[in-house]
Structures are given as structure tokens and as C-alpha cells.
Amino acid sequence: MLESPYELLGGDSAVRQLVDRFYDLMDTVPTYAVIRTLHPADMTGSREKLYLFLSGWLGGPPLYAEKFGHPMLRARHLPFAIGIAERDAWLACMRQAMNDCVITADLQASLLDSMFKTADWMRNKEG
């Protein structure tokens, strides 16, 4: 039986580590300010929601769905202006977080390909 990305990543603690690194980078690296400004000053809730979502999205426990129902990603992100710059900054931040968490190149490539498709679908403004 094939391992899920969740298992390949290392399970719950690895997902939490990735999410924490992602938000730490977003909060401190000027390059990611374009997406940082879309979040509240206290990103505790944002961290938790991404952790819950990624757990299920990666093939682990469907924590987000259990707590909030269907993610409805596009609908939940419509209030925020998301264009190419925001998409690319989000993906770059996630790529850096994956590198910092020492995720294998093959797993990174697979995840980032899927994440690009989702991030591109989230765009709701030109440019």
C-alpha cells in the first residue's frame, strides 16, 4: 500500500512543524509581506486552520472537516484580493518552509505542484 503524503511527511508533528515554519517566515521575511498583510495581527487562528486543513489534504485525519465542515477554500478566501503576486508569494513561502523542514525534493515537487493548482484557483483579481 502506498504511503500518503501525510505519512511521507512524518505525520502530525511534521505537519505542525511545516505550518509553524510557514507562518514564522511569513511574519518575518519582507518578501512575504504581500501575503502577511492579508492576515490578522495575531495569526494563531490562521496557523491552526492551515494545520487542520493540511492534515486532511495530505491524507491524514480530516481535522478541518471535522471541526468546520467542508473547507470551501475559494469561498473562504474571496474577501481577500488574491492575484499572481499573492499566489507566488504564498508558494515561495511554502517552498522555503519545506526546505527548512528538510522535506525531500520529490515530495516537495509533488506537493508544490498540487499547491500551485489550488493557489492559482484561489486568484480573484487580475495581476
* Residue 127: band (very low, low, confident or very high) from pLDDT cuts 50, 70, 90: confident
| Helix (H) or strand (E) segment spanning residue 108 | helix 105-121
pLDDT in tens, 70-96: 999 999 999 999 999 999 999 999 999
> Over the chain, what is the mean pLDDT?
96
Domains and CATH numbers, the chain: 9-121 (1.10.490.10)
- Collapsed DSSP state (helix, strand, coil) of residue 80: coil
Q: For the beta carbon of residue 43, count every other beta carbon within 10 angstroms.
A: 16
pLDDT digits (tens, 9 = 90+) for 92-113: 999 999 999 999 999 999 999 9
Is the torsion defined by CA of 42, 85, 103, 68 positive or negative?
Answer: positive
Is 97:17 a contact under the CB 8 Å cutoff?
A: no
pTM higher than 0.75: yes
What is the pLDDT, as a whole number, of residue 104?
A: 95
Dihedral sign for Cα 114, 52, 8, 21, please.
Answer: positive
